[in-house]
Structure 1
């Protein structure tokens, strides 16, 4: 046993001496080099991205106002109709007869009124010479009854004319017509529940955007504290289900005043031109509302990470050492997070080589630039810039 101890000690000393160069090399490793950009607060557009759903500005269910048999369908399904365009024709025979009867009643009432006026005029002239006051009053009453009878006959004539006109069912709005729900020969009734067809206005079209009530309260706080400068008019853009950006810009129609009990969101409506009818009622969309500008830091999304619980963090250099900071963001802008808290003016943001970082580690910084997509581009060295600069004349 005593003979083995010198051998084990010699082997241990040999391994220790062999590890000395590796330890010395590890201690002498230079600090990692990281690309950095200097951050300053700036005016950033405040864009809200909200889910939305298209709704028709106007949609009319076409129902008959008179009863009768459908004798003709006057439109082509799927075509654009103007206001007042004829769509259906109902058998007018009964209503033509009613109109003639009403016209006859008006003629009779007019004749009776003429006779009553003549009688009253004659009776009034003879008052005191063979005619009593009672007879004059009776003649005046007969005249007033004749006038009332004429008004009643004229009202019946107006109604009969309207009912005859209603036998041609027209579109009350301009829009696209659906397939007819009835056929020629079907009996329809006035005010029935089932529509004959539907006309939907597609241009312009409305889009309801849903904003959580908690975010709306936060926006009001930002406005009240002066952190958000609102635009004079609110406008919105759309992203279609295919990811395509919709060309038209929408204008605010009506802000929401109630909170949904099921979603906790406030419904705000915008109106968009839709000449090509790309947007259809019921379509789901993504809306971006330009509220105004706010003072914030822009942090490229490649330089920040979000934890499982939603906390956004980034690395900055303070006193020559890497420090991880927690950020408060308020949406995005052109591949950047809009950061409202967690940074200080002049902070140096680390934008690459994150794998070599640890809290409090010393780092060597290299200024870099970011392109419009947030990709890191190294700045040219001063010597290279001097070589490529044009010579002074």
Structure 2
């Protein structure tokens, strides 16, 4: 029984010794080397990332303007079309007959016009000498009626010719046509609800991005207070669904005029050139918009931590050579850094490396460091030697 008790006591003592040793190793008592950068307020681009959706520059549902049987489909789905390119041919037999009839009526009306003109001229000449006033008025009316008949049949002929032209359905815009919804032999009617096909123009293309009304108010407040300098020529870049950056920048079309009552966002529309049709209407994208510039500090994200309260904290080297914790007020991020408006001063030595075992009040030896494009801290002297 005694041997068992002594075994337990020995194990407890060994564990306590191990714990003391571990604490001694994890909490160095002497100063430790840390990598630092010197903070300086600078002009920082104010960039926001917004979700967006591609919208066709033009989209038309093609419907017939006259009725008849589809005799031929004249295009290949997916091909590029210009304005006026033929798409469908509708049986034109009845429309050819209507044009012929209108031409015959036109010929008759034109033949009757000189007769009415001569009768009117004769009545005017012999007015009061064999022609009563009533007969003169009747001749004038007959001439006016003949002229009206010519104009009427002329209009009928033009309309008949127009309907005949509509039997060839053409593209109203340039773009690419979808698969036809009808086949040869199908009967269509004028102005039917079902489209024959859809044509989409996707070069250029619109991208509608969604911005919250709260952030719009924040940006306007910054501009009014002078902390944000607005960019007069607002442009956007696109991030595709696979993470690639789309070549080319978009120009602002409209900043939006109303807030959605369901999402609380404003639709901001940009226009992009899309010659290779990489961006397809309906595609979901992300847009980065540079609103302007603001005076702030850039703090590498590796140098600061966000607590449960949402505030950022970091360490700087105090005048006494110890690490001091500071609370930062941030306003979003830019590339791999936080945009900090409050909590730092020009010339502060911000600790960016050696943070794993650092605590407030710990004596430190600052060593100048840099952050490369991959977010890795490097000794500034070593980096200069490598360059």
CA distance in 2, matches of 1:27, 1:74: 82
CA distance in 1, matches of 2:323, 2:132: 118
Per the alignment, residue 295 of structure 2 pairs with 295
Could you tell me how far 1:28 is from its partner in structure 2?
A: 9.2
Q: CA offsets per residue over residues 114-157 of structure 1, 9 Å max, x none?
A: 33222222222222323333333332232222222222212211
Partner SS state of residue 314, structure 1: strand
Change (3 A) 1:122 1:353: same
Per the alignment, residue 3 of structure 2 pairs with none
May I ask how many residue pairs the two structures share in their alignment?
A: 365
Partner SS state of residue 205, structure 1: strand
Partner SS state of residue 248, structure 1: coil
Change (3 A) 1:157 1:325: farther
Per the alignment, residue 148 of structure 1 pairs with 148
Contact 1:39/1:349 (8 A) holds in 2: yes
CA distance in 1, matches of 2:369, 2:347: 15
Per the alignment, residue 243 of structure 2 pairs with 243
Per the alignment, residue 370 of structure 1 pairs with 371
Per the alignment, residue 110 of structure 2 pairs with 110
Bigger mean CA offset, 237-246 vs 226-235: 226-235
CA distance in 2, matches of 1:375, 1:148: 89
Contact 1:237/1:288 (8 A) holds in 2: yes
Partner SS state of residue 155, structure 1: helix
Partner SS state of residue 183, structure 1: coil
Structure 2-normalised TM-score? 0.87
CA distance in 2, matches of 1:354, 1:191: 73
Bigger mean CA offset, 109-118 vs 255-264: 109-118
Per the alignment, residue 11 of structure 1 pairs with none
Bigger mean CA offset, 160-169 vs 22-31: 22-31
Could you tell me how far 1:301 is from its partner in structure 2?
A: 1.5
Contact 1:45/1:294 (8 A) holds in 2: yes
Change (3 A) 1:367 1:103: same
Contact 2:30/2:363 (8 A) holds in 1: no
2:213 maps to 1:184: no
2:356 maps to 1:379: no
Structure 1-normalised TM-score? 0.86
Q: CA offsets per residue over residues 303-331 of structure 1, 9 Å max, x none?
A: 12233554333222333443333333333
Q: CA offsets per residue over residues 150-189 of structure 1, 9 Å max, x none?
A: 2221221121111111111111111111111111100111
Per the alignment, residue 19 of structure 2 pairs with none
Describe how 1:11-22 pairs up with structure 2 within 5 A.
Answer: none
Could you tell me how far 1:96 is from its partner in structure 2?
A: 0.7
2:236 maps to 1:199: no
Structure 1 residue runs of 5 or longer lacking an equivalent are 1-21, 389-393
Per the alignment, residue 37 of structure 1 pairs with 37
Partner SS state of residue 162, structure 2: helix
Structure 2 residue runs of 5 or longer lacking an equivalent are 1-21
2:260 maps to 1:266: no
Describe how 1:51-200 pairs up with structure 2 within 5 A.
Answer: 51-200=51-200
CA distance in 2, matches of 1:198, 1:239: 28
Contact 1:299/1:337 (8 A) holds in 2: yes
Contact 2:27/2:357 (8 A) holds in 1: no
